[in-house]
Amino acid sequence: GNDLFLVAVHELGHALGLEHSNDPSAIMAPFYQYMETHNFKLPQDDLQGIQKIYGPPVEPLEPTRPLPTLPVRRIHSTSERKHERQPRPPSPPLGDRPSLPGTKPNICDGNFNTVALFRGEMFVFKDRWFWRLRNNRVQEGYPMQIEQFWKGLPAKIDAAYERSDGKFVFFKGDKYWVFKEVTAEPGYPHSLVELGNCLPREGIDTALRWEPVGKTYFFKGDRYWRYNEDKRATDPGYPKPITVWRGIPQAPQGAFISKEGFYTYFYKGKEYWKFDNQRLSVEPGYPRSILKDWMGCNQKDVERSKDRRLPHDDVDIMVTINDVPSTVNAIAVVIPCILSLCILVLVYTIFQFKNKEVQQNVVYYKRPVQEWV
């Protein structure tokens, strides 16, 4: 569960008048996240926030200072160190599989497992890593390993969304997990069939809480299901063809709704589609690059990723084979010949050699770089 000390400090901040912070390293961030509590030091963003309300402390510690400064002093004095933990979790490859060097992926490579919106932040998942983004910027300390943030959640998840009650739901294969903040609900994972017999048992591609109708949508291949969270059952008449959502791709890998609720964004591969919730169709000019528009990648990064050759790409190879006669007729002229006779013999020899010469063979063949498995 969450560390009681960190929870107490977070709630004390609210009691003192602090709102949630946009700094992911702050104790007042929207999510409780692990920090080193030994020699704990209040993060700088929280110090600035509390001092903006109550003012900075005076240099000498005076017991006659007004009471509001005492809680700040107590929080500050119970610690000496800011959490170094947040930048650390993704970096130690020590406990990771030795077959992988532990290097962090580059978000500009794309090809994510899924993307989702939690509390207004974009979360991007790839293999055993995830990123948090705000204002098209990757937050400091990311990517982070999924296991170090959501204990018990496996790598390579298929889909994720935030429920109406604020809990996060993750899907992989035929199972799903429910988390409250960063803590798994007891008894999970559960089988996907518990959500309804009509859902595909092998898993889903994308999950979306669609606020315009207050329902949850599950997408798989060329079909989709509308799900009623209260009744814990799919609505009658589903599944329906995905073409109802005019213009979006089959088997989307992620979806989230805009903050104002006017648009829904669908993600697949390295592209995204902007869906108008009123007109029920994709906006003109889409799909566009999700790497440039959402991840803050520049054109150079995108082109470099695009130019990477796929394992099954074929190359044309030209091989030239030269056949050279194995014997050469050497004529030893013992007696000096007349110059004109030598020229005639030379011309005659060249003519005969050309007629008998084995023509060169040029072989073109196509070979795959790797077998497609």
Please check whether residue 85 lies inside any domain of the structure. no
Report the alpha-carbon distance of residue 74 to residue 13 in Å, rounded: 12
- Of 41-45, 119-123, 333-337, give the range with the top mean pLDDT: 119-123
Q: Which of 70-84, 218-232, 309-323 has the highest mean pLDDT?
A: 218-232
Distance, in Å, from the CA atom of 12 to the CA atom of 354, rounded to the nearest integer, reads 98
Task: Return phi, psi of residue 326, to 5°.
Answer: -80, -15
42 confidence band (pLDDT: 50, 70, 90):
confident
| 141 plus 243 within the same structural domain | yes
Q: 290 and 270 in contact (C-beta within 8 Å)?
A: yes
Given this model, what pLDDT does residue 290 score?
Answer: 95
Strand partners, 209: 216
- Residue 260 is a catalytic residue: no
Among 258, 277, 306, the domain-final residue is: 306
268 vs 120: CA distance, rounded Å: 20
Q: What is the DSSP string of 63-124?
A: TTS-TTHHHHHHHHHT-SB---TTTTTTS--TTS-TTS--PPPPGGG---SEEEEETTEEEE
Asked if residue 74 has pLDDT above 90, the reply is no
What mean pLDDT is predicted for residues 87-91? 38
| pLDDT one-digit tens code per residue, 115-133 | 999 988 999 999 999 999 9
Mean pLDDT rounded to a whole number for the chain: 75
Q: Please indicate, yes or no, whether the overall pTM of this predicted structure exceeds 0.75.
A: no
Give the residue-averaged pLDDT of 62-66.
53
More confident residue, 371 or 214: 214
Distance (Å, whole) CA 99 – CA 78 = 42
State the binding site.
10, 14, 20, 28, 158, 160, 207
Which residue would you say has higher pLDDT here, 36 or 154? 154
In a domain, 298, yes or no: yes
**DSSP letters along 311-322, please?**
TT-EEEEEEEE-
Verify that 195 and 132 share a domain, yes or no. Answer: yes
Residue 148 backbone phi and psi in degrees, to 5 = -80, -10
Full domain range(s) for residue 326? 314-368
State residue 367 phi and psi, 5-degree precision.
Answer: -130, 130
Q: Which segment of 85-89, 130-134, 231-235, 273-277 scores lowest on mean pLDDT?
A: 85-89
Q: Is the pLDDT of residue 100 over 70?
A: no
- Are the C-beta atoms of 361 and 323 separated by less than 8 Å? yes
pLDDT of residue 23: 72
Task: Flag whether pLDDT at 308 surpasses 80.
Answer: no
* Residue with the larger pLDDT of the pair 271 and 310: 271
pLDDT of 215 above 70 = yes
In 114-232, the DSSP E strands lie at 114-118, 121-126, 129-134, 137-138, 144-145, 159-162, 168-172, 175-180, 183-184, 190-191, 206-210, 215-220, 223-228
Cβ neighbourhood burial of 297 (10 Å; 0-12, 13-18, 19+): buried
Q: Model confidence over 10-34: pLDDT tens digits?
A: 888 888 888 767 676 788 876 666 6
Q: Any idea which of 195-209, 296-310, 350-364 has the lowest mean pLDDT?
A: 350-364
Whether 102 is in a domain gets the answer no
pLDDT the model gives residue 63 = 52
> Looking at the predicted structure, is the pLDDT value of residue 209 above 90?
yes
Total domains in the fold of the chain: 3
Domain boundary among 277, 306, 335: 306
Is 174 domain-assigned? yes
Q: What is the reported pLDDT for 349?
A: 55
Question: Average pLDDT for residues 188-197, to the nearest whole number?
Answer: 89
- The reply to whether 181 and 286 lie within a common domain is yes
d(CA 148, CA 37): 16
Is residue 205 scored above 90 in pLDDT?
yes
Omega prior to 24 cis, within 30 of 0: no
Per the annotation, where are the binding residues for Zn(2+)? Answer: 10, 14, 20, 28
> Which is catalytic among the residues 11, 80, 211, 283?
11
pLDDT of residue 337: 47
CB atoms within 10 A of CB 243: 12
Is the domain of 166 the same as that of 294? yes
| Residue 61: per-residue pLDDT | 52
Same structural domain for residues 345 and 298? Answer: no
Determine whether 210 is exposed, middle or buried from the number of CB atoms within 10 Å of its CB (0-12, 13-18, 19+): middle
Annotated binding site for Ca(2+): 158, 160, 207
CATH number of the CATH domain containing 41:
3.40.390.10
Main-chain dihedrals φ then ψ at residue 126, nearest 5 degrees: -150, 120
* Alpha carbon separation from 298 to 127, 286, 290, 291, 303 (Å, rounded): 23, 19, 11, 8, 9
Rounded average pLDDT over 184-203:
90
